[in-house]
């Protein structure tokens, strides 16, 4: 009687093991599917995060470059006042102009359509093509007025380059990869 019971237990154990082997294979495939889905989701999030981070960096640089443009125009007006010249003497009204950090007074504003910014050897942005080309383009638009002049500095980092400048500041936003700064300069001491 003993051997028969032992055989019955062995047969039951083998049947259970066989059932669990098939179940283990399904569990393993399901686990692999879950892990693969999780890894792919994380990789997608990392890629999206990198893109958003790079766009945020470019936007920050563009905003600072736009602000620098209006500050340089303000500096020209201030130098005019200091030298005794008329406030807007070297702030010629018109669009499609550029100004550099290393301008030589009084020939500071140039209106010739060369907008691309380059990095010089010291890490400064300039319009001098001897530097390393960047993705940024800056354009100044100077309004005409006798008592005040508006200065709009637009910077774009769109791959289309200078053709990416919008016609209006209302269209200059992060969707269009554009940033701008605007200031109204008035006459000083005249």
pLDDT tens track for 106-138: 667 787 777 899 999 888 998 888 899 999 999
Residue 36 tokens read as 């693969």
Residue 5 lies in a domain: no
Q: Among the listed ranges 43-47, 76-80, 107-111, 151-155, which one has the minimum average pLDDT value? A: 107-111
CA 46 to chain centre: 18
Is residue 159 within 8 Å of residue 134, measured between CB atoms? no
What residue numbers bound the domain in which 68 lies?
33-186
Residue 45 lies in a domain: yes
Q: Return the residue matching tokens 């700064």.
A: 181
Residue 142 lies in a domain: yes
Residue 173: CB atoms within 10 Å:
13
Residue 27 lies in a domain: no
Is 3 a residue whose pLDDT tops 60? no
Residue 23 lies in a domain: no
3-class DSSP string for 149-177: EEEEEEEECCCCHHHHCCCCHHHCCHHHC
Cα–Cα distance measured from residue 116 to residue 129, given in angstroms and rounded to the nearest whole number: 8
Residue 47 lies in a domain: yes
Residue 66 lies in a domain: yes
Residue 35 tokens read as 């892990």
Q: Return the residue matching tokens 């910014």.
A: 117
Q: What is the pLDDT of residue 82?
A: 87
Task: Say what the pTM is.
Answer: 0.73
Residue 31 tokens read as 């686990």
Structural domain total, the chain:
1
Residue 68 lies in a domain: yes
Helix (H, G, I), strand (E, B) or coil at 14: helix
Q: Express each pLDDT in 12-34 by its tens digit.
A: 666 655 555 555 778 888 889 99
């Amino acid at each position: 009687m003993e051997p028969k019971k032992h055989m019955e237990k062995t047969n039951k154990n083998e049947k259970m093991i066989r059932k669990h082997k098939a179940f283990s294979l399904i569990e393993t495939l399901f686990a692999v599917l879950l892990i693969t889905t999780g890894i792919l989701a994380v990789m997608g999030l990392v890629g999206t995060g990198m893109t958003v981070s790079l766009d945020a960096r470019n936007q920050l640089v563009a905003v600072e470059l736009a602000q620098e443009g209006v500050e340089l125009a303000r500096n020209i007006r201030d130098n005019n006042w200091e030298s005794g010249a008329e406030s807007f003497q070297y702030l010629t009204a018109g669009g499609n102009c550029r100004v550099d950090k290393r301008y030589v007074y009084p020939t500071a504003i140039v209106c010739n359509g060369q907008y691309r910014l380059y990095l010089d050897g010291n890490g400064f942005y300039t319009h001098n093509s001897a530097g390393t080309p960047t993705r940024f383009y800056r354009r100044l638009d100077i309004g005409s007025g006798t008592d005040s002049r508006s200065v709009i500095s637009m910077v774009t980092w769109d791959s289309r380059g200078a053709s990416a400048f919008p016609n209006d500041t209302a269209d200059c936003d992060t969707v269009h990869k554009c940033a701008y700064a605007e200031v109204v300069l008035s006459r000083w001491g005249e």
